Amino acid sequence: MDEQDTAAILHGDVLSDTAEEPQLDVNKEEPGVPSTDVVRPPVTCSLPVSVEPVLFLSMFSLALQAPLSTQYLWDRISEDLGYNGSKRSECGNSSAPPDPLQKEVETLTAHWNLYISLGGFSVGLLVVPLLGSWSDLAGRRRVLILPNLGLALQTIVYLVVMYLKLPVVYFLVGRLLSGLSGDFNAVLAGCFAYVADISDRRSRTFRVAILEACLGLSGMLASIIGGQWRRAQGYINPFWLVLATNLVSALYAFLFVRESVVPDPSAKLLTTRHHKAVWHLYSSGGSSSEAGGQFHRCKLWLYTLCFFLVVTVHFGSRELYVLYELSSPLCWGPDFIGYGSAAHHLGYLSSLAGIKIMQRCMEDSWVALVGLASNIVGLVVFSVANSTQLMFTGYGLCLLFMTSTPVLRSKLSKLVEPSEQGALFASVACVESLCYLVGSGVFNSLYPATLHFMKGFPFLLAAIILFIPAGIIGTLQCLEQRRDQRDATVS
């Protein structure tokens, strides 16, 4: 056994002796066997490493940058308009009329945030499927390196704007440049596709859950660091850390991450073939749908719908937590808001442990239903929370809320061939971006519109929406069990 085989076994993978062996059937249950051949380019390190650090570092930079850029927009627009006040966050009954200048600052900041988000989303909608499908042929490492370099370029533009006090429209320019390289969604697609490549069907859900936990932990760490650092040293120094983090993530992917597919040197990036591959995936169910027919394609669409609804609720409700806690009757200060954010992010770790435990005694679909039940009960408690104790009770009940999304990603991955993982997860990443836009827009509009009859109504609506994916997942699992029983009886 040579050094390459030893490193692969330590990594949890099995190497193929030749590239000419037939591809594995993803519909067969073969624990310990990866979906694709694993090769190591000559520039990579021999250590057994994976992509979790890439996703952690990329998410850290994004979570550190996003709130700081919004606060910078607020300060720059306030300076341009001559507004010297501060946005009030204290809880109290003030009879003073609202400051019209403050309202204008709030409106312009919200609009610029929307323009920047839409600019990145519209470009990424074209680029991310292209890169994801291309990675099925050219390899995953390139799709891990290129978007991080684009994010670093965006940060450089932001730093130039801050140093030279350029108009805030240049933030949009930086976002578009990042979108042309795939943005963070391409990193997501590459990391999840990589894990699908190197994991077998039995362990895939847990490996995906580890990546989800990386997202939560890095987001929590960045939230803690960013606010304190900005208060102490302003905006520029934290953005230098954002730049360094993106470059380190790209360097790590280049030096340490082994390739998970056999690269095709003749694979071209700028071709319509990649978008056609994504279209084929959802129009016909992909290459593996030949065995499952119409039911296979329906499952692909239904699980994607479930993912859309669940993630939209996650993003939408998360946008309201701080606003709900700041106002009466909770009237939380910064300390309690920090504790609440920590309790929310703790759900990523507890969900990871929950998946590991529950997989020993139940199918993945039932694990997802337990997670949805946890989320539903917690949201119902949030909708009526009028005390600190009740609010933290809701956070406690939501400790398994992140078990559903890893299961859905894993189920989608198992529905397609190894050669289609990149196209699939690129599509899922685009859906996730759409979830953020829809969730943020709907729930932020719904909250002020329902204050007069029920302050927590958006949380209650979110809980009701989650019954839809719960019903779909439960129904599909029952149908699959009946079909398996019928096939076993016939055989």
CATH number of the domain at 286-491, out of 2.130.10.10, 1.20.1250.20, 3.60.110.10, 2.70.160.11? Answer: 1.20.1250.20
Phi and psi at 38, nearest 5°, equal -120, 125
Residues ≥6 apart with Cβ < 8 Å to 379: 313, 317, 394, 398, 459, 460, 462, 463, 466
Phi and psi at 351, nearest 5°, equal -65, -40
Look up the CATH number of domain 50-84+103-263. Answer: 1.20.1250.20
Residue range(s) of every CATH 1.20.1250.20 domain in the chain = 50-84+103-263, 286-491
Task: Please tell me whether the overall predicted TM-score, pTM, comes out greater than 0.85 for this model.
Answer: no
- Please give the structure tokens belonging to residue 335: 């300390």
What does the pLDDT read at residue 235? 85
pLDDT tens per residue across all 491 residues of the chain: 444 444 443 344 433 333 333 333 433 334 434 443 444 544 445 555 689 999 999 999 998 888 888 888 888 988 888 877 654 444 444 445 556 787 788 778 878 887 888 888 889 888 988 888 888 888 899 999 999 999 999 999 999 999 999 998 999 999 999 999 999 999 999 999 999 999 888 889 999 999 999 988 898 888 778 877 877 888 889 999 999 999 999 999 998 888 888 887 777 777 777 777 777 778 776 555 544 557 778 899 999 999 999 999 999 888 788 778 877 888 887 678 778 888 888 899 999 999 999 999 999 999 999 999 999 999 999 999 999 999 999 999 999 999 999 999 999 999 888 888 888 999 998 899 899 889 888 888 888 888 888 989 999 999 999 999 999 999 999 988 888 788 777 76
